[in-house]
Amino acid sequence: MTIPGEGQINSVGEFGLIAEITALLPQGENVLIGPGDDAAVVTAPDGYVVATTDMAVEGIHFRRDWSSAAQIGQKISAANLADVVSMGARPTAMLVAFAAPRSLPVQWAMDVTIGIRDEAAKMGASIVGGDLASNEKIVISITALGSLDGRQPVLRSGAKVGDRVVLVGTTGLSAAGLALLNPSEVIDSIDADNFEELRAAHRTPKVEYELALAFAKCGAHSMCDVSDGLLADLGHVAQSSGVRCRIDPRKLDVSKLTDAALKLGVDPLMWALTGGEDHAFVGTIAADVELPDGLRVIGDVVAGSGVEVSGLDVSKWQAGHDHFQSTGR
Amino acid sequence: MTIPGEGQINSVGEFGLIAEITALLPQGENVLIGPGDDAAVVTAPDGYVVATTDMAVEGIHFRRDWSSAAQIGQKISAANLADVVSMGARPTAMLVAFAAPRSLPVQWAMDVTIGIRDEAAKMGASIVGGDLASNEKIVISITALGSLDGRQPVLRSGAKVGDRVVLVGTTGLSAAGLALLNPSEVIDSIDADNFEELRAAHRTPKVEYELALAFAKCGAHSMCDVSDGLLADLGHVAQSSGVRCRIDPRKLDVSKLTDAALKLGVDPLMWALTGGEDHAFVGTIAADVELPDGLRVIGDVVAGSGVEVSGLDVSKWQAGHDHFQSTGR
């Protein structure tokens, strides 16, 4: 008798692992053909499909000693779903390419799949296919598909002078959590248990998918997901749209950041303005549109270029990440 | 002045590299929104999208000392396109996730992109998005999308008793080429230049996409691409369909294999029956359908299970590859 999840992946082999993983994957109503053939077939009801891909590498995007397999899967899944939602689209399906060392426990591979699956299920998306390969480090590359259901995509380039800048979700929690996970003398000296919510936000961000879709549906002119930090991602909107975006920093919610910032001696606004992995959404919308509850107006759009934070010199803070130049993520 | 392709990727940075790569990517008529936003938007004219993903790892799926960057890109691209085509679908778009060491020459990243792009362009597909990450070894994960244009997908599970087994393309060339690339005393003793065509077939297989689509359109009951070897992949068809497939080995074209097989002391049928990376296609179709020129009937479908090669004991040959158990690819 084979016990699911037992042993290392080299003991069950590629096809055994595929079988164990596939058994975890119910297929939703968007799926005509799921895993097991050369390709999947997914509905695209309005004649268009939204598609995005994100690759996560162990030691850079995640650490097995900081997060469980399910948490890692959930977070990578969220990054892909957020990219689909930021176009104003409903996620429908995912494909997952997974490279891992042969010694990886089967249970880890199953748990990461469960994490990816469960986060995708929040938006009704199924894992419809994938691929396996061996590599010294774990590499997870997800492609997410989505449907606009007849709407126009919400682009980075649609911001207009006179728009309000709107934030969906809260930024900075994940960056604060990362700072609290990084071992240091300061971290050791503070009561770690006080900040479990921030660490949890780094491990598994709570993404406001439905609120972002509601923002799109009520007529957002532009949107992108905050994966590189609010300054950097709003900067993409400003650049693509040929406008200047102004943020009023008093409009940012730093209430959950202030205690930890004080302990670590940092400005909570640095986390809120440069932290990326919360997968909040930032966009712009005309001044006269009534907004759904839960959206936060944080600024406005004027003629010019770039991003300005009123009363604050933000040039001292690194804006966004560069995977080939930074030593960080 | 920046010279495109100069330096290592850490010198141009993630965003510099994205800019250099994106400049190489014209967008075809299937593409509503291409690279540069959070996600791409691609046409899916009949309301369905075909999607498949394949991940290739340096040292396992390809070697930089055996193949140029453009050749490596072309081959990985072909593997994905073949998966779409084997469903009877027309490739429309690709997303490419790419991990590489920071010291990689920018030119290599550009050349691999060109290889992927040019192979995709053969079928009218554009690279619409991607992601970059850093990793010690190069990892390339491609997702290919396609359109059935109103047709039903051709599945592995559709083979019927009484069908003919049809091979699209030639198998074994890539496996022979691999044997000739692997250094050994025997290889050193034979005149390498004689077999350049086989080595080329391993580096950049010539995939019969259009012929496979023609096979689908004339009513194929089943099809899959031969990526694991004819025995293994036809075995998938037999198993999914609940039938037995019989191959007449005299119907296989081994004419280009015999000289090299003689020199290396192997049976050319071993290459033709177990070699995978040619990305030929195998499928089944009713006995009374007139077939387009270039398709090769290699057997028939009977009641039972498994694959039989008339007059040959093939149990001695490994059928297919396992990435976590074999020491090979």
Cα–Cα distance between A167 and A284 in angstroms, integer?
A: 9
Q: Which helix (H) or strand (E) holds B71?
A: helix B69-85
- Nearest-Cα distance to chain A for B288, in Å, is 26
Strand partners, B50: A41, B146
Cα–Cα distance between B281 and B224 in angstroms, integer?
A: 6
* Residue B110 and residue B5 in contact, taking contact as beta carbons nearer than 8 Å: yes
* AA identity, residue A196: E
Partner residue facing A47 (CB), from B44, B83, B137: B44
CA–CA distances in Å: residue A61 to residues A53, A55, A139, A326, B299 = 15, 9, 10, 13, 50
Cα–Cα distance between A36 and A20 in angstroms, integer?
A: 12
ipTM of the complex, rounded to two decimals: 0.93
At B276 the pLDDT is 85
Q: What is the pLDDT of residues B76-125, one digit of tens each?
A: 999 999 999 999 999 999 999 999 999 999 999 999 999 999 999 999 99
- Nearest-Cα distance to chain A for B36, in Å, is 9
Q: Which of residues 204-233 of A touch B (CB under 8 A)?
A: 224-225
- Nearest-Cα distance to chain B for A47, in Å, is 5
Partner residue facing A41 (CB), from B50, B143, B157: B50
Look at A324 and B14 and tell me if their CB atoms are within 8 Å.
yes
Domain borders along chain A are 9-147, 156-309
Which residues from B are below 8 Å from A97, CB to CB?
A: 53-55, 97, 141, 143
Residue A71 has pLDDT above 90, yes or no: yes
Q: What is the pLDDT of residues A217-271, one digit of tens each?
A: 999 999 999 998 999 999 999 999 999 999 999 999 999 999 999 988 999 999 9
Q: What is the pLDDT of residues A205-215, one digit of tens each?
A: 999 999 999 99
Look at A97 and B54 and tell me if their CB atoms are within 8 Å.
yes
Pinpoint the alpha helices (H) of chain A: 9-22, 69-85, 106-121, 173-181, 185-189, 196-203, 209-217, 230-241, 258-264, 268-274
Residue B69 has pLDDT above 70, yes or no: yes
Which residues from A are below 8 Å from B45, CB to CB?
A: 47
Q: What is the pLDDT of residues B237-265, one digit of tens each?
A: 999 999 999 999 999 999 999 999 998 89
**Cβ atoms within 10 Å of B182's Cβ, excluding its own:** 11
Instruction: Give phi and psi for A94, each to the nearest 5.
Output: -135, 150
Q: Which helix (H) or strand (E) holds B23?
A: none
Look at A50 and B39 and tell me if their CB atoms are within 8 Å.
yes
Chain-centroid distance of CA A314 in Å reads 24
- Nearest-Cα distance to chain B for A35, in Å, is 10
Taking residues B154-167, what's their average pLDDT?
98
- Nearest-Cα distance to chain A for B187, in Å, is 28
| Chain B contact present for A81, CB below 8 A | no
Selected for mutation to probe chain A from B55, B81, B228 (highest A CB count within 10 Å) is: B55
* Residue A165 and residue A299 in contact, taking contact as beta carbons nearer than 8 Å: yes
CATH architecture of A9-147: 2-Layer Sandwich (3.30)
DSSP labels, B157-224: GG--TTPEEEEES--SHHHHHHHHHS--HHHHHS-GGGGHHHHHHHHS----HHHHHHHHHTT-SEEE
DSSP-based three-state secondary structure for B33: strand
Find the angle CA(A303)-CA(A308)-CA(A311) to the nearest 5 degrees. 125
DSSP labels, A267-283: -HHHHHHH--TT-EEEE
Which residues from B are below 8 Å from A93, CB to CB?
A: 51
Find the angle CA(A9)-CA(A107)-CA(B143) to the nearest 5 degrees. 65
Q: What is the CATH number of domain B156-309?
A: 3.90.650.10
| Chain A contact present for B141, CB below 8 A | yes
Q: What is the pLDDT of residues B195-209, one digit of tens each?
A: 889 999 999 999 999
Nearest to B82 by CA among B29, B139, B146, B21: B146
